[in-house]
Structure 1
Amino acid sequence: MLTALAGLGLGLSLIVAIGAQNVFVLRQGIRREHVLAVVIICALSDAALIAAGVAGLGFVLSAAPWLVVVARWAGALFLLTYAALAARRAWRGG
């Protein structure tokens, strides 16, 4: 039971924290644009990442260290693209 509560607390802490994904979901909700699609995609993405972690992705990554490098660069590329799109929206305004 203690392990289940620790997992529930960790999951809650990930959801409650206002990060880039939560800000995006809130922004889309406020603008009333594609709300259902955004919520479904984000929920499924979170579920897939949690399932991968539980299924032992750490073990796979330790067995194939090159996957860590690929994931790092893919994440950096995603964040840079997201930042460029946000900067473009800010530059253009309203």
Structure 2
Amino acid sequence: MRNPRICLTTIFCMPYQIAKNKSYVDQRECTICDCLCMPREYFTRQQIRSKYGFEQATLMDCIVTGPCLPCAVCQDAREMEERGILIR
């Protein structure tokens, strides 16, 4: 487990981690509205790819955020943390 904090948050409270990912990629605080109106992780991944110049992989992101959603959520959170954009 590369980052137990992110993995445990995703396992036990995935909607919260998804909301945090979206707010972090937007570089703003996570609010209760983010948690209640949980964004789709697919769009968050697309936004991360666009923002940081990663190659677009629309089909792969669609596949990954379906059956492998917990892995995608963790991967996105780690990517933003490594770039230092997580708001604490």
Q: Scaled by the length of structure 2, what TM-score is found?
A: 0.31
> Going by fraction, where is helix more abundant, 1 or 2?
1
Q: Bigger relative contact order, structure 1 or 2, given CA contacts below 8 A and separation 6+?
A: 2
Q: Scaled by the length of structure 1, what TM-score is found?
A: 0.30
Which one has the largest radius of gyration? 1
